[in-house]
Chain A
C-alpha cells in the first residue's frame, strides 16, 4: 500500500532553515511527482511546489521562489523540502502529497509541524 511518512516536528528560530523529509513506499518513487502543501494554524491549504523524482526537475510557487528548494534521493525513495529564512508566519503544518499525471493528488503524508519562534 502507498505510504508517505514525513519527518518529525521542528522548532526553529527566525532566520533559520528547516528541511522536511517525505519517505515513500508501496510504489515506484520515480513514477509520480511529489508536491508540497502547507497549512498555517486554523487556516487553509497553500501549494508550495513540486519535484519530479525521476529528473529532479522542480516547479515552485512564485511566493516561495528563492527561499525553497525541493530535492530527492531516489536510492531511499525520499523527497525533501528545504525552506530558508524562516519567519513567524512560516509556522505551519507541511504536507507532501503524491500526484498522478496532471497534478492529481492522491496520497498525502501525515504532515510535519514546523514552529518558528524566538
Chain B
C-alpha cells in the first residue's frame, strides 16, 4: 500500500496568511493526487485533483503542485471559512489511501 504523509499535522495561522501544506507519497504516484477540506461535523469537500486542477466551484486562492512523491497545497490568503482539516489522497493504485490530515487553526 502507498503511504501518504502530511506535514505539519497542525498549524496556527492568521487571516490573510499564505499557508502551505505538504504531502509525501511512499512511492511515485505521478500526479494522481487529490486534496480535500473537511470542517468539523461535515463531509469532506473535494478541492483539487490531478495534483493541481481545481474542482468546479473551488476558489482560485487554493492551488496545488507537485508530481512523483512530493506535493503541496497552498492557500494564498487565509480566510475565516478556510479553517478546517485538509487531507491528501492518492489514486494511483489500490487501495486508495489518504494522508493523516493537517488541521489549520486560528492563531
Q: Which residues of A contact B (CB under 8 A)?
A: 35, 37, 44-47, 59, 61-63, 95, 97, 102-111
Q: Given B46, B95, B96, which contacts A107 in the complex, CB threshold below 8 Å?
A: B46
A104 CA to B95 CA, complexed, in Å? 14
Instruction: From known contacts A103-B91, A104-B34, infer whether A44 and B55 are also in contact, taking CB-CB under 8 Å.
Output: no
A44 B101 Cβ-Cβ under 8 A: yes
A45 B50 Cβ-Cβ under 8 A: no
Interface core residue of A46, A103, A111 (most chain B CB under 10 Å): A103
A61 CA to B91 CA, complexed, in Å? 13
Instruction: From known contacts A45-B87, A108-B46, infer whether A61 and B98 are also in contact, taking CB-CB under 8 Å.
Output: no
Contacts of A95 in B (CB 8 A): 43-44
* B84 CB, min distance to chain A CBs, angstroms: 14
